[in-house]
Amino acid sequence: MKQKMTFGLSIIPLIALIMTAVLAVFVWKIEMHFPLIIGMMAASIVALIAGFKWEEIQEMMIKGVTIALPAVFILFIIGTIVGSWIASGVIPTIIYYGLAIIKPEIFVPIVALVTGIVSITLGSSFTSIATVGLAFMAIGQGLGFPPGLVGGAIISGAFFGDKLSPISDTTNIAAAVAETDLFSHIMHMLWDTIPAFLMSLILYWLFSNTGETIEHADVYAIKEISVGLKSTFIIHPILLFVPIITIVLMVLRIPAIPALMGVSLLGAFLAVTVQGYSIGETIAFMMNGYVGETGIARVDALLSRGGLMSMLSTISFLILATALGGILERTGSFEVLTHKIMEKVKTTGALIGSTILSTFLVGFASGEQFLTIILPARTFVNKYKDMGIDTKNLSRCVEAAGTVGINLVPWGVTAVFAASVLGISPMEFIPFAFFVMLVPFINIVFGFTGWTIHKKQY
Protein backbone atom coordinates (compact mmCIF):
# COMPACT_ATOMS: atom_id res chain seq x y z
CA MET A 1 0.00 0.00 0.00
CA LYS A 2 1.35 3.42 -1.00
CA GLN A 3 2.12 5.88 1.77
CA LYS A 4 1.99 9.63 1.36
CA MET A 5 5.36 11.05 0.29
CA THR A 6 6.90 12.96 3.20
CA PHE A 7 9.28 15.90 3.10
CA GLY A 8 12.02 13.73 4.61
CA LEU A 9 11.71 11.11 1.87
CA SER A 10 11.32 13.69 -0.89
CA ILE A 11 14.53 15.53 -0.01
CA ILE A 12 16.73 12.39 -0.09
CA PRO A 13 17.17 12.18 -3.91
CA LEU A 14 17.91 15.91 -4.08
CA ILE A 15 20.59 15.65 -1.37
CA ALA A 16 22.11 12.59 -3.06
CA LEU A 17 22.20 14.35 -6.43
CA ILE A 18 23.68 17.63 -5.19
CA MET A 19 26.30 15.93 -2.98
CA THR A 20 27.56 13.67 -5.77
CA ALA A 21 27.35 16.56 -8.27
CA VAL A 22 29.58 18.73 -6.07
CA LEU A 23 32.05 15.86 -5.72
CA ALA A 24 31.94 15.21 -9.47
CA VAL A 25 32.67 18.86 -10.31
CA PHE A 26 35.22 19.76 -7.64
CA VAL A 27 36.86 16.47 -6.58
CA TRP A 28 36.44 13.65 -9.09
CA LYS A 29 36.51 15.88 -12.21
CA ILE A 30 34.11 13.55 -14.05
CA GLU A 31 31.06 13.97 -16.26
CA MET A 32 27.72 14.71 -14.61
CA HIS A 33 26.04 11.50 -15.77
CA PHE A 34 27.13 9.65 -12.63
CA PRO A 35 25.43 12.06 -10.16
CA LEU A 36 22.21 11.76 -12.18
CA ILE A 37 22.38 7.98 -11.98
CA ILE A 38 22.90 8.23 -8.21
CA GLY A 39 19.90 10.59 -8.05
CA MET A 40 17.79 8.11 -10.03
CA MET A 41 18.82 5.27 -7.74
CA ALA A 42 17.96 7.33 -4.64
CA ALA A 43 14.62 8.42 -6.14
CA SER A 44 13.78 4.81 -7.08
CA ILE A 45 14.60 3.53 -3.58
CA VAL A 46 12.47 6.28 -2.02
CA ALA A 47 9.60 5.39 -4.37
CA LEU A 48 9.88 1.70 -3.41
CA ILE A 49 9.85 2.66 0.30
CA ALA A 50 6.73 4.74 -0.36
CA GLY A 51 5.00 1.64 -1.78
CA PHE A 52 5.37 2.07 -5.55
CA LYS A 53 6.09 -1.05 -7.60
CA TRP A 54 9.13 -1.24 -9.85
CA GLU A 55 6.90 -1.43 -12.93
CA GLU A 56 5.32 1.89 -11.90
CA ILE A 57 8.72 3.51 -11.35
CA GLN A 58 9.88 2.33 -14.76
CA GLU A 59 6.76 3.84 -16.34
CA MET A 60 7.50 7.13 -14.53
CA MET A 61 10.96 7.23 -16.11
CA ILE A 62 9.58 6.46 -19.56
CA LYS A 63 6.98 9.23 -19.32
CA GLY A 64 9.64 11.64 -18.09
CA VAL A 65 11.91 10.87 -21.04
CA THR A 66 9.00 11.41 -23.44
CA ILE A 67 9.17 15.13 -22.62
CA ALA A 68 12.72 15.25 -23.95
CA LEU A 69 12.15 13.54 -27.33
CA PRO A 70 11.61 16.73 -29.40
CA ALA A 71 14.81 18.18 -27.90
CA VAL A 72 16.66 14.92 -28.67
CA PHE A 73 15.82 15.19 -32.37
CA ILE A 74 16.88 18.84 -32.44
CA LEU A 75 20.20 18.05 -30.74
CA PHE A 76 20.95 15.34 -33.31
CA ILE A 77 20.31 17.80 -36.14
CA ILE A 78 22.37 20.55 -34.48
CA GLY A 79 25.31 18.13 -34.39
CA THR A 80 25.05 17.65 -38.17
CA ILE A 81 24.71 21.43 -38.68
CA VAL A 82 27.98 22.14 -36.86
CA GLY A 83 29.77 19.49 -38.93
CA SER A 84 28.35 20.64 -42.29
CA TRP A 85 28.72 24.37 -41.55
CA ILE A 86 32.41 23.93 -40.74
CA ALA A 87 33.06 21.72 -43.78
CA SER A 88 31.15 24.11 -46.06
CA GLY A 89 33.23 27.07 -44.91
CA VAL A 90 30.28 28.90 -43.30
CA ILE A 91 31.71 28.99 -39.78
CA PRO A 92 35.30 29.54 -41.04
CA THR A 93 34.01 32.50 -43.09
CA ILE A 94 32.29 34.02 -40.02
CA ILE A 95 35.50 33.57 -38.03
CA TYR A 96 37.69 35.01 -40.82
CA TYR A 97 35.68 38.19 -41.31
CA GLY A 98 35.00 38.51 -37.59
CA LEU A 99 38.75 38.57 -36.86
CA ALA A 100 39.16 41.25 -39.52
CA ILE A 101 36.45 43.68 -38.44
CA ILE A 102 35.72 43.22 -34.72
CA LYS A 103 37.77 45.43 -32.39
CA PRO A 104 38.89 44.12 -28.99
CA GLU A 105 37.44 47.14 -27.16
CA ILE A 106 33.87 46.19 -28.07
CA PHE A 107 34.26 42.47 -28.71
CA VAL A 108 32.63 40.96 -25.62
CA PRO A 109 29.47 43.12 -25.63
CA ILE A 110 29.20 42.51 -29.40
CA VAL A 111 29.27 38.76 -28.69
CA ALA A 112 26.32 39.05 -26.29
CA LEU A 113 24.39 41.44 -28.55
CA VAL A 114 24.78 39.52 -31.81
CA THR A 115 24.15 36.13 -30.17
CA GLY A 116 21.04 37.65 -28.58
CA ILE A 117 19.73 38.97 -31.90
CA VAL A 118 20.30 35.60 -33.58
CA SER A 119 18.69 33.73 -30.69
CA ILE A 120 15.58 35.93 -30.53
CA THR A 121 15.14 35.46 -34.28
CA LEU A 122 15.75 31.71 -34.28
CA GLY A 123 13.90 31.13 -31.02
CA SER A 124 16.63 28.67 -30.06
CA SER A 125 19.50 29.20 -27.65
CA PHE A 126 21.01 25.84 -28.63
CA THR A 127 21.20 26.72 -32.34
CA SER A 128 22.68 30.17 -31.72
CA ILE A 129 25.31 28.72 -29.35
CA ALA A 130 26.29 26.02 -31.85
CA THR A 131 26.61 28.42 -34.81
CA VAL A 132 27.52 32.07 -34.14
CA GLY A 133 28.52 31.18 -30.57
CA LEU A 134 31.07 28.67 -31.80
CA ALA A 135 32.45 31.25 -34.26
CA PHE A 136 32.73 33.86 -31.50
CA MET A 137 34.71 31.45 -29.32
CA ALA A 138 37.26 31.15 -32.13
CA ILE A 139 37.37 34.91 -32.69
CA GLY A 140 37.80 35.47 -28.96
CA GLN A 141 40.73 33.09 -28.90
CA GLY A 142 42.33 35.03 -31.73
CA LEU A 143 41.82 38.30 -29.88
CA GLY A 144 43.28 36.87 -26.69
CA PHE A 145 40.19 36.89 -24.46
CA PRO A 146 39.67 34.32 -21.67
CA PRO A 147 37.39 31.52 -22.98
CA GLY A 148 35.18 31.71 -19.88
CA LEU A 149 34.44 35.39 -20.44
CA VAL A 150 33.51 34.85 -24.09
CA GLY A 151 31.45 31.78 -23.14
CA GLY A 152 29.58 33.78 -20.50
CA ALA A 153 28.72 36.46 -23.08
CA ILE A 154 27.52 33.80 -25.53
CA ILE A 155 25.29 32.21 -22.87
CA SER A 156 23.92 35.62 -21.84
CA GLY A 157 23.03 36.54 -25.41
CA ALA A 158 21.63 33.14 -26.30
CA PHE A 159 19.24 33.03 -23.34
CA PHE A 160 18.28 36.69 -23.65
CA GLY A 161 16.94 35.80 -27.10
CA ASP A 162 15.48 32.46 -26.03
CA LYS A 163 13.58 34.20 -23.21
CA LEU A 164 11.93 36.88 -25.39
CA SER A 165 11.39 35.05 -28.67
CA PRO A 166 7.71 34.31 -29.43
CA ILE A 167 8.80 31.17 -31.30
CA SER A 168 10.87 29.80 -28.39
CA ASP A 169 9.49 26.57 -26.97
CA THR A 170 10.33 27.57 -23.38
CA THR A 171 8.58 30.94 -23.78
CA ASN A 172 5.43 29.27 -25.08
CA ILE A 173 5.52 26.55 -22.40
CA ALA A 174 5.90 29.06 -19.55
CA ALA A 175 2.96 31.14 -20.76
CA ALA A 176 0.75 28.09 -21.32
CA VAL A 177 1.42 26.37 -17.98
CA ALA A 178 1.07 29.63 -16.04
CA GLU A 179 -2.26 30.22 -17.82
CA THR A 180 -1.39 33.60 -19.30
CA ASP A 181 -1.44 35.07 -22.79
CA LEU A 182 1.83 34.59 -24.75
CA PHE A 183 2.32 38.20 -25.80
CA SER A 184 1.27 39.57 -22.39
CA HIS A 185 3.90 37.22 -20.96
CA ILE A 186 6.59 38.50 -23.36
CA MET A 187 5.73 42.16 -22.76
CA HIS A 188 5.83 41.63 -19.00
CA MET A 189 9.27 40.01 -19.27
CA LEU A 190 10.69 43.19 -20.80
CA TRP A 191 10.80 44.67 -17.28
CA ASP A 192 13.41 42.18 -16.07
CA THR A 193 15.05 41.15 -19.35
CA ILE A 194 16.00 44.54 -20.81
CA PRO A 195 17.59 46.01 -17.62
CA ALA A 196 19.47 42.76 -16.98
CA PHE A 197 20.78 42.63 -20.53
CA LEU A 198 21.81 46.31 -20.58
CA MET A 199 23.68 45.86 -17.30
CA SER A 200 25.34 42.76 -18.74
CA LEU A 201 26.47 44.66 -21.86
CA ILE A 202 28.00 47.36 -19.64
CA LEU A 203 29.85 44.72 -17.61
CA TYR A 204 31.12 43.03 -20.77
CA TRP A 205 32.28 46.40 -22.11
CA LEU A 206 34.18 47.02 -18.87
CA PHE A 207 35.82 43.59 -19.12
CA SER A 208 36.72 44.27 -22.76
CA ASN A 209 38.57 47.39 -21.65
CA THR A 210 40.25 46.07 -18.52
CA GLY A 211 44.00 45.82 -18.78
CA GLU A 212 44.06 42.73 -16.58
CA THR A 213 41.75 40.95 -19.01
CA ILE A 214 43.40 41.99 -22.28
CA GLU A 215 46.10 44.54 -23.00
CA HIS A 216 46.07 44.18 -26.76
CA ALA A 217 44.93 41.80 -29.46
CA ASP A 218 47.21 38.85 -30.08
CA VAL A 219 48.24 39.95 -33.58
CA TYR A 220 50.22 36.79 -34.25
CA ALA A 221 47.30 34.54 -33.24
CA ILE A 222 44.89 36.51 -35.45
CA LYS A 223 47.21 36.25 -38.43
CA GLU A 224 47.90 32.56 -37.82
CA ILE A 225 44.19 31.70 -37.60
CA SER A 226 43.30 33.83 -40.64
CA VAL A 227 46.07 32.30 -42.77
CA GLY A 228 45.13 28.80 -41.65
CA LEU A 229 41.47 29.33 -42.55
CA LYS A 230 42.28 30.96 -45.90
CA SER A 231 44.63 28.15 -46.89
CA THR A 232 42.11 25.42 -46.01
CA PHE A 233 38.75 26.85 -47.11
CA ILE A 234 37.32 28.97 -49.85
CA ILE A 235 36.33 32.06 -47.87
CA HIS A 236 33.59 34.12 -49.51
CA PRO A 237 30.88 36.53 -48.28
CA ILE A 238 28.19 34.53 -50.10
CA LEU A 239 28.59 31.79 -47.48
CA LEU A 240 27.21 34.24 -44.90
CA PHE A 241 23.80 33.82 -46.54
CA VAL A 242 23.44 30.40 -44.90
CA PRO A 243 22.84 31.80 -41.38
CA ILE A 244 20.68 34.51 -42.94
CA ILE A 245 18.55 31.84 -44.63
CA THR A 246 18.28 30.07 -41.26
CA ILE A 247 16.94 33.25 -39.67
CA VAL A 248 14.45 33.76 -42.52
CA LEU A 249 13.10 30.21 -42.11
CA MET A 250 12.48 30.83 -38.43
CA VAL A 251 10.85 34.21 -39.07
CA LEU A 252 8.51 32.46 -41.51
CA ARG A 253 7.56 30.12 -38.63
CA ILE A 254 8.83 27.01 -40.40
CA PRO A 255 8.84 24.22 -37.74
CA ALA A 256 12.23 23.86 -36.09
CA ILE A 257 13.08 20.29 -37.09
CA PRO A 258 12.46 20.58 -40.89
CA ALA A 259 14.06 24.07 -40.93
CA LEU A 260 17.20 22.84 -39.18
CA MET A 261 17.37 19.76 -41.39
CA GLY A 262 17.18 22.06 -44.41
CA VAL A 263 20.09 24.30 -43.36
CA SER A 264 22.13 21.24 -42.38
CA LEU A 265 21.68 19.82 -45.89
CA LEU A 266 22.42 23.24 -47.39
CA GLY A 267 25.72 23.22 -45.53
CA ALA A 268 26.43 19.73 -46.87
CA PHE A 269 25.63 20.87 -50.42
CA LEU A 270 28.10 23.76 -50.12
CA ALA A 271 30.77 21.48 -48.63
CA VAL A 272 30.60 19.41 -51.83
CA THR A 273 30.09 22.18 -54.41
CA VAL A 274 32.17 24.99 -52.92
CA GLN A 275 34.84 23.31 -50.80
CA GLY A 276 35.20 20.24 -53.02
CA TYR A 277 34.65 17.50 -50.46
CA SER A 278 33.16 14.23 -51.65
CA ILE A 279 29.66 13.20 -50.60
CA GLY A 280 31.15 10.46 -48.43
CA GLU A 281 33.50 12.88 -46.68
CA THR A 282 30.68 15.34 -46.09
CA ILE A 283 28.43 12.68 -44.58
CA ALA A 284 31.33 11.66 -42.32
CA PHE A 285 31.69 15.28 -41.16
CA MET A 286 27.96 15.42 -40.36
CA MET A 287 28.13 12.14 -38.47
CA ASN A 288 31.49 12.31 -36.69
CA GLY A 289 32.38 15.99 -36.85
CA TYR A 290 34.92 17.94 -38.85
CA VAL A 291 38.59 17.21 -38.16
CA GLY A 292 40.96 20.12 -38.81
CA GLU A 293 44.08 19.16 -40.74
CA THR A 294 45.70 22.52 -41.42
CA GLY A 295 48.87 21.63 -39.53
CA ILE A 296 48.34 24.68 -37.31
CA ALA A 297 47.41 23.41 -33.84
CA ARG A 298 45.46 26.52 -32.90
CA VAL A 299 43.30 26.36 -36.04
CA ASP A 300 42.80 22.59 -35.88
CA ALA A 301 41.59 22.90 -32.29
CA LEU A 302 39.01 25.47 -33.42
CA LEU A 303 37.70 23.38 -36.29
CA SER A 304 37.72 19.84 -34.87
CA ARG A 305 34.18 19.54 -33.54
CA GLY A 306 30.54 18.94 -34.45
CA GLY A 307 28.80 15.88 -35.84
CA LEU A 308 25.78 13.90 -34.77
CA MET A 309 27.90 11.61 -32.59
CA SER A 310 29.18 14.60 -30.58
CA MET A 311 25.64 15.10 -29.26
CA LEU A 312 25.33 11.62 -27.78
CA SER A 313 26.78 12.62 -24.42
CA THR A 314 24.41 15.59 -24.10
CA ILE A 315 21.44 13.49 -25.26
CA SER A 316 22.21 10.71 -22.78
CA PHE A 317 22.43 13.38 -20.07
CA LEU A 318 19.06 14.79 -21.15
CA ILE A 319 17.49 11.33 -21.00
CA LEU A 320 18.85 10.66 -17.51
CA ALA A 321 17.71 14.09 -16.27
CA THR A 322 14.15 13.70 -17.56
CA ALA A 323 13.94 10.12 -16.28
CA LEU A 324 14.89 11.37 -12.81
CA GLY A 325 12.42 14.23 -13.15
CA GLY A 326 9.70 11.76 -14.13
CA ILE A 327 10.18 9.82 -10.89
CA LEU A 328 10.28 12.94 -8.71
CA GLU A 329 7.19 14.43 -10.34
CA ARG A 330 4.97 11.35 -10.42
CA THR A 331 5.82 10.16 -6.91
CA GLY A 332 4.80 13.60 -5.66
CA SER A 333 8.29 14.49 -4.37
CA PHE A 334 8.43 17.82 -6.22
CA GLU A 335 4.96 18.73 -5.00
CA VAL A 336 5.87 17.99 -1.39
CA LEU A 337 9.07 20.06 -1.61
CA THR A 338 7.42 23.07 -3.25
CA HIS A 339 4.36 22.99 -1.02
CA LYS A 340 6.60 22.99 2.04
CA ILE A 341 7.99 26.28 0.74
CA MET A 342 4.55 27.59 -0.23
CA GLU A 343 3.13 27.08 3.27
CA LYS A 344 5.18 30.09 4.48
CA VAL A 345 3.98 32.43 1.72
CA LYS A 346 1.86 35.32 2.99
CA THR A 347 3.14 38.35 1.04
CA THR A 348 3.81 39.17 -2.60
CA GLY A 349 7.56 39.32 -1.97
CA ALA A 350 7.50 35.92 -0.30
CA LEU A 351 5.46 34.51 -3.21
CA ILE A 352 7.87 35.78 -5.86
CA GLY A 353 10.89 34.69 -3.82
CA SER A 354 9.36 31.26 -3.21
CA THR A 355 8.62 30.84 -6.91
CA ILE A 356 12.24 31.62 -7.82
CA LEU A 357 13.54 29.36 -5.04
CA SER A 358 11.25 26.47 -6.00
CA THR A 359 12.17 26.78 -9.66
CA PHE A 360 15.87 26.64 -8.79
CA LEU A 361 15.15 23.67 -6.52
CA VAL A 362 13.63 21.77 -9.43
CA GLY A 363 16.51 22.91 -11.64
CA PHE A 364 19.17 21.63 -9.26
CA ALA A 365 17.25 18.39 -8.76
CA SER A 366 16.56 17.59 -12.43
CA GLY A 367 18.96 19.74 -14.46
CA GLU A 368 16.28 19.84 -17.17
CA GLN A 369 14.84 23.08 -18.52
CA PHE A 370 11.29 21.99 -19.38
CA LEU A 371 10.64 20.32 -16.02
CA THR A 372 12.13 23.33 -14.24
CA ILE A 373 9.54 25.56 -15.92
CA ILE A 374 6.52 23.26 -15.88
CA LEU A 375 6.50 21.90 -12.32
CA PRO A 376 6.74 25.19 -10.35
CA ALA A 377 4.30 26.93 -12.71
CA ARG A 378 1.80 24.11 -12.30
CA THR A 379 2.27 24.13 -8.51
CA PHE A 380 2.01 27.90 -7.94
CA VAL A 381 -0.65 28.94 -10.45
CA ASN A 382 -3.57 28.64 -8.03
CA LYS A 383 -1.64 30.42 -5.26
CA TYR A 384 -1.16 33.43 -7.56
CA LYS A 385 -4.87 33.44 -8.39
CA ASP A 386 -5.86 33.13 -4.73
CA MET A 387 -3.67 36.11 -3.82
CA GLY A 388 -5.04 38.19 -6.71
CA ILE A 389 -1.69 38.42 -8.49
CA ASP A 390 -1.65 38.23 -12.29
CA THR A 391 -0.24 34.89 -13.45
CA LYS A 392 2.02 36.68 -15.94
CA ASN A 393 4.14 37.42 -12.86
CA LEU A 394 4.38 33.66 -12.35
CA SER A 395 5.34 32.99 -15.97
CA ARG A 396 8.01 35.70 -15.76
CA CYS A 397 9.48 34.13 -12.62
CA VAL A 398 9.66 30.58 -13.97
CA GLU A 399 11.31 31.92 -17.13
CA ALA A 400 13.80 33.89 -15.04
CA ALA A 401 14.90 30.89 -12.99
CA GLY A 402 13.92 28.06 -15.36
CA THR A 403 14.77 29.24 -18.87
CA VAL A 404 17.70 31.46 -17.83
CA GLY A 405 18.76 30.55 -14.28
CA ILE A 406 19.12 26.84 -15.12
CA ASN A 407 22.48 27.78 -16.66
CA LEU A 408 23.83 28.30 -13.13
CA VAL A 409 23.45 24.55 -12.55
CA PRO A 410 26.78 23.02 -13.70
CA TRP A 411 25.09 19.66 -14.31
CA GLY A 412 22.09 21.21 -16.08
CA VAL A 413 21.40 20.09 -19.64
CA THR A 414 21.82 23.62 -21.06
CA ALA A 415 25.19 24.16 -19.33
CA VAL A 416 26.44 20.71 -20.37
CA PHE A 417 25.36 21.35 -23.98
CA ALA A 418 27.11 24.73 -24.10
CA ALA A 419 30.25 23.23 -22.57
CA SER A 420 30.37 20.42 -25.14
CA VAL A 421 29.91 22.80 -28.09
CA LEU A 422 32.18 25.61 -26.91
CA GLY A 423 34.90 23.35 -25.54
CA ILE A 424 35.00 24.85 -22.03
CA SER A 425 33.66 23.65 -18.68
CA PRO A 426 30.50 25.13 -17.12
CA MET A 427 32.59 26.34 -14.18
CA GLU A 428 34.60 28.53 -16.58
CA PHE A 429 31.65 30.42 -18.09
CA ILE A 430 29.14 30.47 -15.21
CA PRO A 431 30.99 33.27 -13.29
CA PHE A 432 30.75 35.45 -16.42
CA ALA A 433 27.12 34.68 -17.33
CA PHE A 434 26.00 38.02 -15.90
CA PHE A 435 22.56 38.05 -17.54
CA VAL A 436 21.81 34.62 -16.06
CA MET A 437 22.49 35.92 -12.54
CA LEU A 438 20.82 39.30 -12.90
CA VAL A 439 17.41 38.19 -14.20
CA PRO A 440 16.38 36.10 -11.14
CA PHE A 441 17.82 38.77 -8.81
CA ILE A 442 15.80 41.55 -10.47
CA ASN A 443 12.61 39.50 -10.12
CA ILE A 444 13.22 39.07 -6.40
CA VAL A 445 13.74 42.85 -6.07
CA PHE A 446 10.48 43.43 -7.96
CA GLY A 447 8.69 41.02 -5.65
CA PHE A 448 9.74 42.73 -2.42
CA THR A 449 9.34 46.29 -3.72
CA GLY A 450 6.11 45.65 -5.64
CA TRP A 451 7.51 47.26 -8.80
CA THR A 452 5.98 45.83 -12.02
CA ILE A 453 3.92 43.30 -10.02
CA HIS A 454 0.49 43.37 -11.65
CA LYS A 455 -2.62 42.44 -9.70
CA LYS A 456 -5.70 40.71 -11.08
CA GLN A 457 -8.82 39.23 -9.55
CA TYR A 458 -9.71 35.74 -10.75
Q: Are residues 120 and 262 in the same domain?
A: yes
* Residue 455 covered by a domain: no
Tens digit of pLDDT for each residue in 253-289?
787 788 889 999 999 999 999 999 999 999 999 999 9
Q: Are residues 264 and 326 in the same domain?
A: no
- Of 311, 337, 370, the residue that ends a domain is 311
pLDDT surpasses 90 at 317: no
* Residue 89 covered by a domain: yes
pLDDT value for 321: 80
pLDDT surpasses 60 at 211: no
Q: Are residues 122 and 268 in the same domain?
A: yes
Tens digit of pLDDT for each residue in 409-437?
988 889 989 998 898 999 999 999 999 99
Q: Are residues 24 and 137 in the same domain?
A: no
Q: Are residues 241 and 154 in the same domain?
A: yes
Q: Are residues 128 and 197 in the same domain?
A: yes
Q: Are residues 264 and 411 in the same domain?
A: no
Residues 219-234, mean pLDDT to the nearest whole number: 82
* Residue 458 covered by a domain: no
- Where is 240: in which H helix or E strand? none
pLDDT value for 209: 77
* Residue 169 covered by a domain: yes
Q: Are residues 100 and 216 in the same domain?
A: yes
Residues 36-56, mean pLDDT to the nearest whole number: 92
* Residue 1 covered by a domain: no
- Of 283, 311, 339, the residue that ends a domain is 311
Q: Contact, 234 vs 89, CB < 8 A?
A: yes
- Mean pLDDT, the chain, integer: 87
* Residue 456 covered by a domain: no
Selected residue with higher pLDDT from 314 and 353: 353
Number of domains comprising the chain: 2
Tens digit of pLDDT for each residue in 69-115?
877 888 888 889 889 999 999 988 988 888 787 778 888 999 999 89
- Of 257, 290, 311, the residue that ends a domain is 311
Measure the CA–CA gap between 117 and 352, rounded to whole angstroms: 29
pLDDT value for 218: 58
Q: Are residues 191 and 277 in the same domain?
A: yes
Q: What is the pTM of this model?
A: 0.80
pLDDT surpasses 80 at 406: yes
* Residue 454 covered by a domain: no
Q: Are residues 125 and 167 in the same domain?
A: yes
Tens digit of pLDDT for each residue in 356-384?
998 998 888 778 788 788 878 888 888 89
Q: Contact, 381 vs 177, CB < 8 A?
A: yes
Tens digit of pLDDT for each residue in 120-162?
877 789 888 988 888 898 888 878 889 999 999 999 999 999 9
* Residue 365 covered by a domain: yes
- Say which residues have a Cβ less than 8 Å from residue 445's Cβ, sequence separation at least 6: 451
Segments forming the whole domain that contains residue 148: 69-311
